[in-house]
Amino acid sequence: MSPGPAPILEIRQVSKFFGGLAANSDVSFSMSEGMILGLIGPNGAGKTTLFNCITGYYPPSRGEILFKGERMNGLTPDQVCKRGMVRTWQKVRPLAKLSVLDNVVVGALVRTNSVPEAREIAHEQLRVVKLDHKDGFLAGGLPIGERKKLEVARVLATRPSLLLLDEVMGGLNPAESEDIIQLILEIKERGLTQMVIEHDMKAIMRISDRIVVLNSGEKLAEGAPQEVVSNPEVVTAYLGEAHV
Amino acid sequence: MPPTPRPRGLAVLPVVLGVAFVVALAVFPKFVESPYALQMMVLFFLAVIQGEAWNLIGGYGGQYSVGHAAYFGIGAYTVIVLLQSRGIAPWWGLAPALALAVVVAAVVGSLTFRLRGPYFVLASIAVAEIFRLAALNWKDLTNGAEGILLSEIPPLVVGGVLVTDFSTKVPFYYMGLALAVVTVLVTVWFQGSKLGYYLQAIREDQDAANSLGIPLTFYKNVALMISAFFTAFAGALYGLYVGFIDPQTALGLDISVQIVLTAIIGGIGTVLGPVIGAALLVALSEALRSNLLTDALIGSGVVDASSGVGQFLRDNLSHAHMLIYGVLVALTILFMPDGVLGAIKNQVRKRRTRAAAGGAA
Q: Which residue of B has its CA nearest to A55?
A: B211
Rounded distance between C-alpha atoms, residue B305 and residue B294, angstroms: 9
Exposed (0-12), middle (13-18) or buried (19+): which is A19, by Cβ within 10 Å?
A: exposed
Q: In B, which residues are within 8 Å of A82 by CB distance?
A: 213
Q: How far is CA B87 from CA B83, B90, B159, B233, in A?
A: 4, 9, 20, 19
CB distance A84 to A160 below 8 Å: yes
Q: Are B121 and B60 in contact (CB under 8 A)?
A: no
DSSP three-state, residue B154: coil
Task: Note the Cα B239 to chain centre separation in Å.
Answer: 15
Q: With contact defined as beta carbons under 8 Å apart, do A5 and A32 qualify?
A: yes
d(C-alpha A154, C-alpha A107), whole Å: 5
Amino acid at the residue A161 = S
The DSSP annotation for A154-184 comes to HHHTT--SEEEEESTTTT--HHHHHHHHHHH
Task: Find chain B residues with C-beta within 8 A of A55's C-beta.
Answer: 211
Percent of chain B with pLDDT over 90: 65
- B/e letters for A39-62, b = 16+ CB within 10 Å, e = fewer, are bbbeeebbbbbbbbbbbbbbebee
CB of A162 within 8 A of CB of A192?
Answer: yes
Q: Quick check: B79 and B241 in contact, CB under 8 A?
A: no
Is A236 inside any structural domain?
yes
- State the amino acid at position B37 in one-letter form: A
Q: Distance (Å, rounded) from C-alpha B94 to C-alpha B81? A: 11
Q: Other CB atoms closer than 10 Å to residue A125's CB: what's the count?
A: 24
Question: Does the residue A47 lie in any domain?
Answer: yes
Instruction: Note whether residue A8 is domain-resident.
Output: yes
Classify residue A199: in a domain, yes or no: yes
CA distance A34 to chain B (A): 21
Closest partner residue to A93 (CB to CB) among B193, B198, B205 is B205
CA-to-CA separations, B44 to A68, B37, B281, in angstroms, rounded: 57, 11, 9
Any CB–CB contact under 8 A between A99 and chain B?
A: yes
Q: Classify residue B5 as exposed, middle or buried by CB count within 10 Å of its CB (0-12, 13-18, 19+).
A: middle
Give the whole-angstrom CA distance, residue A98 versus residue B194: 14
CA distance readout (Å), B127 to B16, B104, B124: 42, 10, 5
pLDDT in tens, chain B (361 residues): 444 445 445 578 888 999 999 999 999 998 988 999 999 999 999 999 999 999 999 999 999 999 999 999 999 999 999 999 999 999 999 999 999 999 999 999 999 999 998 999 999 999 999 999 999 999 999 999 999 999 888 888 888 888 888 888 999 999 999 999 999 999 999 999 999 999 999 999 999 999 999 999 999 999 999 999 999 999 999 999 999 999 999 999 989 999 999 999 999 899 999 999 999 999 988 888 877 777 877 878 777 777 888 777 777 777 777 788 778 878 888 888 888 888 888 888 888 878 777 655 4
- The verdict on residue A76 lying in a domain is yes
Listing from the earlier edge strand, what are the strands of the sheet with A9-18?
A21-31, A9-18, A62-67, A70-71
Q: Is B8 exposed, middle or buried (0-12, 13-18, 19+ CB in 10 A)?
A: middle
Residues of A in contact with B209 (CB under 8 A): 95, 106
For every residue of B92-147, DSSP letters joined together read HHHHHHHHHHHHHHHHHHHHHTTS-THHHHHHHHHHHHHHHHHHHH-HHHH-GGG-
The pLDDT tens digits along chain A (244 residues) read 455 678 999 999 999 999 889 999 999 999 999 999 999 998 889 999 999 999 999 999 999 999 999 999 999 999 999 999 999 999 999 999 999 999 999 999 999 999 999 999 999 999 999 999 999 999 999 999 999 999 999 999 999 999 999 999 988 999 999 999 999 999 999 999 999 999 888 899 999 999 999 999 999 999 999 999 888 888 887 655 554 4
Alpha carbons within 13 angstroms on the beta-carbon side of residue B203 total: 23
Residue B69 CA to residue B127 CA, distance in Å, equals 10
What SS3 state is found at B187? Answer: helix
Helix/strand/coil (H, E, C) string of A31-52? ECCCCEEEEECCCCCCHHHHHH
Using a CB-CB cut-off of 8 Å, the residues of chain A touching B210 are 76-78
**What single string gives the DSSP state of each residue in A90-113?**
SS----TTSBHHHHHHHHHTTS-S
CATH code for the domain of A30: 3.40.50.300
Catalogue all structural domains in chain B, each as residue range(s) with its CATH number.
29-271 (1.10.3470)
- Does residue A57 belong to any structural domain of this protein? yes
Per the structure, how many domains does chain A have? 1
Q: Is B28 on the interface with A (CB under 8 A)?
A: no
State how far the Cα of B229 lies from the Cα of B249, in Å rounded to an integer.
Answer: 19
Sequence-separated (6 or more) residues with CB below 8 Å from residue A31: A7, A8, A9, A10, A37, A162, A193, A195, A210
A78 min Cα distance to partner chain B (Å): 4
Q: Which domain range does residue A230 map to?
A: 1-84+162-170+193-244
Residue A94 lies in a domain: no
Contact residues, A window 18-57, toward B, CB-based 8 Å cutoff: 55, 57
State the DSSP H helix or E strand holding residue A196, giving kind and residue range, or none if neither. strand A193-197
Residue A126 lies in a domain: no
